[in-house]
Amino acid sequence: MSEEKKAEPNIENQKGTDLAAEVTALKAQIAEMLSTKAKTEDQTLLDSVRKAKEKDEQDQSKVKVLESALTFTMKSPEFYKQNAAILPKEVEGIFEAAEKEKYSNAIEKADSIKAGIIQSFFSVQSNVDILTASQKVQLEQYLTLTKNGKQEKASDFYDRIFEPAFETLKRVNKAESLQKGLGSGGDDAYKKKLMAGSNHHYLGENKNA
């Protein structure tokens, strides 16, 4: 009996040691959990800030696109009136047809009109000739798109390709009008020189190319 009683304290000591180890492990686990939670909360907050900023930028971009589309459609009649002499006659019909169509929003309407203008304008070979070699390739690729594809890409193509080419055409026509009556064998050479200068200014083409 005496030996069993002597062994009891050792058992109690072992239990105490095990309990202390468990408490220490539990504290470490809790500390790790709290640290992970803090990091997660910080990351979540950062994500929220980034998402809010991204949404704000997207909203601002949408507003700008909408404003641009509304401005374009509102100024379309004036645009045609001022440039009727150098635009294909069917462009007027494009504007008229657009007024009869139903569109889901102003952006869709503007894109539809721009797609029509692009196709009509570049159906004239002399207008295609204004483009650089790279832009001619882009035009060919654009014209192979489906109707929906053309409308989706219309705004970007209109800004990057059509508008610079159209400005070049206006400059060339204005210069030709000034040259009228001074006719000589050098007219063609003068026209080419003027186009080269316009292409350099509006399209970035090397004048000496």
Give the length of the chain. Answer: 209
Long-range interactions of 92-100: CB distance < 8 A, separation 24+ = 94/120, 98/73
Q: Which of 125, 111, 10 is nearest to 68 (CA)?
A: 111
pLDDT (tens digit, 9 = 90+) per residue, 79-119? 999 999 999 999 999 999 999 999 999 999 999 999 999 99
Tens of pLDDT, residue by residue over 116-171, are: 999 999 999 999 999 999 999 999 999 999 999 999 999 999 999 999 999 999 99
pLDDT of residue 126: 94
Which is nearest to 42 in space by CA: 53, 50, 31?
A: 50
- Specify the range with the lowest mean pLDDT, choosing from 49-58, 66-75, 129-138: 49-58
- Other beta carbons less than 10 A from residue 168's beta carbon: 23
DSSP for 153-204, please give it. HHHHHIIIIIHHHHHHHHHHHHHHHHHTTS--TTHHHHHHHHHHHHIIIII-
Residue extents of the structural domains in the chain? 47-203
